[in-house]
Chains A and B, each alone.
Chain A
Amino acid sequence: GESVGLHLPTLSVQEGDNSIINCAYSNSASDYFIWYKQESGKGPQFIIDIRSNMDKRQGQRVTVLLNKTVKHLSLQIAATQPGDSAVYFCAETQLFGNEKLTFGTGTRLTIIP
């Protein structure tokens, strides 16, 4: 996950625009990555995952890109809606080795109406 910091990165996007949230992971042995969405007062919610044998995976309005060379992960949200406002976390683990799940510090996405 990203290095620990006291300030949560923020991103403000106009409703209807696309948004890109970035995440740098630290463990080169990680081979499975997940994006979670956390709305205020709720627990994290699974959005999309990707294994290291892929560099792109698409879901409904979301796309995850993985660049193993630079250990970078991104989440693209198309045609953002007010309900997309939340904190987004990336997480990394090893599928068949270390079962620990390590989260990044998160990015707060705000959709401007």
Chain B
Amino acid sequence: EAQVTQNPRYLITVTGKKLTVTCSQNMNHEYMSWYRQDPGLGLRQIYYSMNVEVTDKGDVPEGYKVSRKEKRNFPLILESPSPNQTSLYFCASSSFLAGAFYNEQFFGPGTRLTVL
């Protein structure tokens, strides 16, 4: 089954404790992205990756890191989480089709993170 998986689905942590949220896709997609979703603000893009070893900042990259060492994985790293990073996080992937990489972007199920 074609899917994007995220782990963990729920996480409660404390300020300053490094954490990683994993994202994996089995569709051989080139493009992967991380979003955060907050009430009333919609989804905001954190980082995206066009392919292996290629990453770029989205609209809200502060406090986050990513890496793309393999095509299928795109982990989101919070080196020193703070309470304002409490949010619902989504990973997504899509393929390039004649340069159009949003041809059906697949989203993962989401990770609800609470930073105390």
| Chain A residues within 8 Å of B, Cβ to Cβ | 1-2, 4-8, 32, 34, 41-46, 49, 89, 91, 93, 95-96, 99-106
Question: Min CB distance, B31 to chain A, in Å?
Answer: 8
We find that the number of chain B residues with CB closer than 8 angstroms to chain A is: 30
Docked-complex contact A103 and B40, CB < 8 angstroms: no
B40 CB contact (under 8 Å) in A5, A44, A96, A102: A5
Query: Does chain A have a CB within 8 A of B41?
Result: yes
| Chain B residues within 8 Å of A, Cβ to Cβ | 4, 31, 33, 35, 39-45, 48, 50, 56, 58-59, 90, 92, 99-110
Q: Which secondary structure dominates chain B's binding surface?
A: strand
Q: Which secondary structure dominates chain A's binding surface?
A: loop
A8 CB contact (under 8 Å) in B40, B103, B104: B40
